Amino acid sequence: MTRGLRRVVLAVLATIWTSGAAWLLLHHCGQRAGDLGPEPSPAEPWALRLHGVAATATVALLGLLYGLHVAPGWRARRRRWSGGAVFAAGVALALSGDLLYYLADEDARAAVALAHWAVGLATLPLFVAHRWRRIASCADGRTRRGSGGGG
């Protein structure tokens, strides 16, 4: 993966995680007292909109990364557990995000929402562990730069 693409991937992933975490905080902790009771924060819908835009970019990157990064790394038997967990979490988040958009049943939607934000929050430490292992292997000289299948 080129340095430029890596920067784009990191920027998109930082945006989607941060906007999702911001929405979660605003939705559950950012309510204000209004004339008719608690009102949502005015920033809440903007965090959700940004999250939706970042989700579209993330789904596109998942497809691109599968061909450029995931499949070659899998064939080379590099960091399968951490990479597989990150990729599986990304797919699960894309699917659950679609369900949140389309589900009408409130009970089912609440269960999917809980799973979506739990997996979403857990994905950051999974991703950091995957990147950390790449950095450690580069420091040990085990990964060739530009090999296409690295971390």
Report pLDDT digits (tens) over 124-148.
999 999 988 666 566 666 554 444 4
Partners of residue 37 on adjacent β-strands: 34
User: Rounded to whole angstroms, how far apart are CA atoms 143 and 151?
Assistant: 9
| 59 pLDDT higher than 70 | yes
Q: 3-class SS at 147?
A: coil
User: Rounded to whole angstroms, how far apart are CA atoms 54 and 13?
Assistant: 8
DSSP class of residue 69 equals I
User: Rounded to whole angstroms, how far apart are CA atoms 38 and 41?
Assistant: 9
What is the percentage of the chain residues whose pLDDT exceeds 70? 87
pTM: 0.82
Report pLDDT digits (tens) over 11-57.
999 999 999 999 999 999 998 888 898 899 999 999 999 999 999 99
User: Rounded to whole angstroms, how far apart are CA atoms 85 and 109?
Assistant: 24
Alpha helices in 2-140 (DSSP H): 3-29, 44-65, 71-75, 80-102, 106-139
Residue 9 burial (CB count, 10 A): 18
User: Rounded to whole angstroms, how far apart are CA atoms 120 and 20?
Assistant: 8
State the number of CA atoms in the 13 A half-sphere of 142 facing the CB: 12
